[in-house]
Structure 1
Amino acid sequence: MWYRGYLENGQKVWIQAYNVTTKVTNSESATSKLGRILNTSANIYPTLGVGKTAFTAGTKYTDKVFYIKKQATYNGTLYYLISTIASSTTGVIGWVKANDMWAQNHVAVDHNSKTFYLKGSGWAYAHAWGAGQDTIYKDLTEFKNQKFTVNLTEKVGDAIWYRGYLENGQKVWIQAYNVTSTQPIKETSTSKLGRVLTTSANIYPTLGVGRTAFTAGTKYTDKVFYIKKQATYNGTLYYLISTVASSTTGVIGWVKASDMWAQNHVAVDHNVKNFYLKGTGWAYAHAWGAGQDAIYKDLSSFKGQLFEVNLTEKVGDAIWYRGYLENGQKVWIQAYNVNTTYQNNTNYSLTLSEALAIQMKANPQTDKYRNEPAYVSTDSVNITGTVNANVNLRTSASLKDNSNVSTTISSGTTFRIIGTVQGDSFNGSTKWYKIQYNSKTLYVHSTLVNITSAVTESALYVRDSGSYESHIYDTVSKGTSLIVLDVGNEWLKIQYTTWRNATSSDVSYYLNPKNFVNDEKLRFQFLDLSKSSSVSASVLNTFLSGKGTLNNMGQAFIDAGKKYNVNEIYLLSHALLETGQGTSPLAKGYSYNGVTVYNMYGIGAYDGTALTSGAKYAYEHGWTTPYIAIVEGAKFIAEQYIHSSNNQNTLYKMRWNPEYMSRYGGASHQYATDIGWAVKQIDSIYNIYRQLDSYTLYFDIPTYK
């Protein structure tokens, strides 16, 4: 017998009767397993035995765990009924051949509450024995040591699985292998500095291993340590101390927090700052240093010195600075022990070379060469000499015999010297003067002659050496008497005045701010003179003691500063310089038109007529007492310089006026022609600031493009 018909896949076929039966073999039974479909081509049968409704698992139903609460044998083949929940009626997907699945027995162990701690290994799933699609967290390292609160324990195969809540509230399943019931040492990062309080405090190289502990002793007390890690062990907080800012390098060990004094430690900035030492406190090798960290225990000898800072940190509520002292020593000093400085840079639209060229046209003066000789050409100088005894005048510079003696002159006879020559030695010298006497050119040995006068016969350049290529100090007019130091054949060596034309290199040195900005004292020429120093009258009076009329006038300078917004220490320094320490006639009081007047800043006192012109200015402005002269003289400085349109608010700007150079390309409204004027004003200012316990400095630094 043969049958023609259709298979479940729709294929029409003939099959012999021997190979078919009218009975369906289907034996179902309850079970409890979890299972995973092994491959995407596995068939899933919504109805067991009805092949035409089957579908393949695909990626949707693979790499995922299912509940199996029923199994069945159909035509001798075992099938599992898979479901998304623990039910054989709800959440059912269909039947899958057992050999297309990996299934393990699944039993509930208990619903007891348990507390575990994550090891940081394994994954966390939405179901016990989860697969890839069930994953909630594929990396638990960030949860290491966190508490895991369990409320359900199940067994899958031989493995125990826990369902519970992470610290972030997420419900997950985690295999037992990845948790521990032992409370871990919970380490966290921190940033502190700390000191061990007692020599008996224990230090643990390994936290929890007491046998390796050692006591701090004197080696590890009275010293500051970095703390970059802390840990809680058995409910006690510990700090990991290190000699460097690291939790891995320089580590000493763990110390109970209760055995330490620790404060939060944060970096504020790495900005470069300049401060001045008060001379108080200590200097340390570390911020918040203790006794063993001290480098200097007495900073009084460093008072007023520049402290160049490159790192600022905060320890607790205190600011600490790391930087270099003037001797090059790197130290940490607490902010309380330094005085603050602020720096502003004013930019100008000309180069330093352009500024130098402008200044060289303004006849800059210097006293640098005041003790040096000068030189003028002998061509236009009438040099007169005389002798103190009877002397032979010769026709040549020779002493071989007297055949060349032209005449003999007596003591006091004068003649004109027109040059020098080398001749026979006399009195250890071979220098002879070539002279004119009675219309004759004759010679006389230089050691026998005294020069009585040297008068210019025309305007002459005064130079720094006997060369026409040398620097010109000045120009002397016709009829100027010169003080002769030596007579040469072409050049006359003379003694000259204090003030002379400065060289280009001289001017460049004083004009360039970079030569002074890093000098603790000389940078005071950039001090903003519109800012008060808050100095007391008693401190000023200390400097004014014995200074003539300025004695005890400290309050007057303070009043002047407040009234016209001018730094009072600068006013005092200016007055001391202009009045010769308070002793000049204008400081003592000078009668003008029958009225005694005072001029403390040299205002209106022009060269050549300083006394009368300075007195006239004081008279016209009513400066009839030292107090009035100090206070109201400050008005001129404030209005004409410090608060003027040229913004000449520093000694440097008062001298060089870079604002005017930048705007108009010329030199004008400069307080002095002396190239060193700004620097010379500094001594008193600097020394007074060094006496103050606390102050703030404001510097305004010119910057050329």
Structure 2
Amino acid sequence: MNFNKKIVLTSAVVLPFFMGTINAQSNEGIVTSYGLNVRSGPDKSYDVKFVISKDDKVTIEDSSNGWYKITTKSGRQGWASAKYIDIIENQTTTIKKVSASSLNMRKGPSTSYDIITKLTKGQEVEVISVENEWAKIKYNSKVGYVSNKYLSDEIDSSVTIKYVNTSSLNVRTGPSTDYKVLTVYKYGQEVKVVSINGSWAKIKYKDGYAYISNKYLTDKIPDNEDCDKNEGNTENNNQGGLKTTYENLSYSFDTMVDYEYKLSQKGYNKIRANISSDYSNSNNYINATKTDLKKYLNPDNFTSNSNGKLQFLRIDKYRSGITASELNAYFSKYCQSHSVFLNKGQAFIDAAKKYDLDVTYLVAASMLETGHGISKLAQGVYVTDSSGNQVKVYNFFGISAYDGTAVSSASQYAYKKGWTSVDKTIDGSAKWLSDNYIHSSKYNQNTLYKMRWSYNTGHQYATDVDWAVCIAKLMNKIVPYYNDSTTLEYLVPKYK
């Protein structure tokens, strides 16, 4: 379950769960508790070695079962609860090129230090920091110092444009899953590939380089499937009836914004910087600002066109009028040849009818979550049953895909649910959505807007503030299949 796509909150704080090693590199963290015990091992049963204070910075060396192995500034080591330590993202390095015919890389920032190696003109290095005319650099996994005046910003690497063809793809600091995740790219996002080595692609990232799995890159993606592009407000051609009801809320718009802003400060409302109102020129996800929240929370900003208005469509009702053959035509148009959704129109209709869901929503949500039916979990993963047999299972919504064990934990969940075929998984996914959101007696989140925004409960389907709009855009490609007699019912919130 990808962080920038989906996190379910409750009224209590949701805390991360870690297994195994955090990554191949150390991360810096900051203490959030006023007095945090540091123990001799990763459990409360171990003795307390010392106590660290709020806002102390520590280096995170390892993690195990919700505990971090840390080193303090003074060099003391021990284990502390990960609940009370926030990771501080490492700064992105800058790529520069050697401009001198020969340049000494030394162990320290002066000519008195020993030479590690000699660099030649045109070689590229990662600049970590610059101080007193000396640049701290990384080259061939070694860290050293060079004179900054012999480094140039001119990087002329040729790039190949590719696109992400899965629902979400981690961008890492190095070419393996051991390296730290810098950000997450979404389906259809442009990637500038510098080189490919085995299964990893070296890509341009900010002012430097990063790495991404080449397996999930494609040379072409349909432009109209990129939900971050500013699509036209083309109305769908459904000629059936339209019914709009306004739901009076007991709280004001400003109260809602303030509540969501508190969640945003905790990292539960994210927006890509290049579509934020207050930022630009970055594909990184950042905490949504109040300006961003006011834009996406205001129903008036979305009710004048069908793309936006569909986030208020009641999705707790099955509507007839779309045939299996029409859905199959849609899948054929927008899915790749190995998508598991090809010719599954009837399975979606059966599941939507069984759990009383709008079929355009069920299809659109499944498409977005699985990269149009081609993600690893959507394609099927083999698990070993109690008899030692290999059983193929599917998971379309990343349910129980915990950080660090995403594929294994999600596939085990799918096995327990009996999702051993695409049809069974479509049915099971529809039931999960119905029980936990759309027909939940506790939350009653029967529109995309309600699934995304839920006042004073924290029970929100996604962290991406653009999520409801993205689903609505996909739905708007399916809604035109409804026949003339179908009535679309909208439920629009009206703040106090």
Q: TM tier, shorter chain?
A: 0.3 to 0.5
- TM-score by length of structure 1 reads 0.33
Q: Which has the higher contact order (CA 8 A, sep 6+)?
A: 2
- TM-score by length of structure 2 reads 0.46
Higher strand share: 1
